[in-house]
Amino acid sequence: MFYEDVIVGETYASTRSKTVTGTEIDLVAQLSGLDLPGFLDAEVAKKWGFKDRVAPGPYVLACMFGLMAAQGFLSNALWMGAEQITFKAPVFPGDRISAEVEVTEKKPSKRGGGPVTYKWRVKNQDGQILVEGINTCLFKGKG
């Protein structure tokens, strides 16, 4: 989606969902250095009160970007920053997640395109909000 196509006040939802696997959690945790027991060991996670090990938060954020890029919303955008990221519930292996964004602001750039600010949410298969926040991305213009 190009800057000119983005509408303030509009909500855009992912057109598909993604199942988070234990293998993905293992790989992300190990590759990123987040190889902590709560991500890799179900028994440790259970001692912390979770039903199973949990996905690292940065991975869930990356999944949101991927889902919204596949939908088209972030297909011509670069991430500039985030605010107020709140993890409301964990993502477990086997959870199927989807994403949605609501555009709150856009500012045109002299070079074309411009920054777009949006609220975003990641939900699980039950519709429960797992993570939410506010991002700004630089959107490419059509010109």
Reported as half-sphere exposure (CB side, CA atoms, 13 A), residue 81 has a value of 3
Is 106 in a helix, a strand, or coil? strand
- Helix, strand, coil in percent for the chain, rounding step 5: 25, 35, 40
Residue 32: pLDDT band by 50, 70, 90 thresholds? very high
DSSP string computed for 47-85: HTT-SS----HHHHHHHHHHHHHHHTTTTTEEEEEEEEE
Residue 38: pLDDT band by 50, 70, 90 thresholds? confident
The model scores a pTM over 0.85 = yes
pLDDT tens-digit series, residues 61-118: 999 999 999 999 999 999 999 999 999 999 999 999 999 999 999 999 999 999 999 9
DSSP state of 26: H
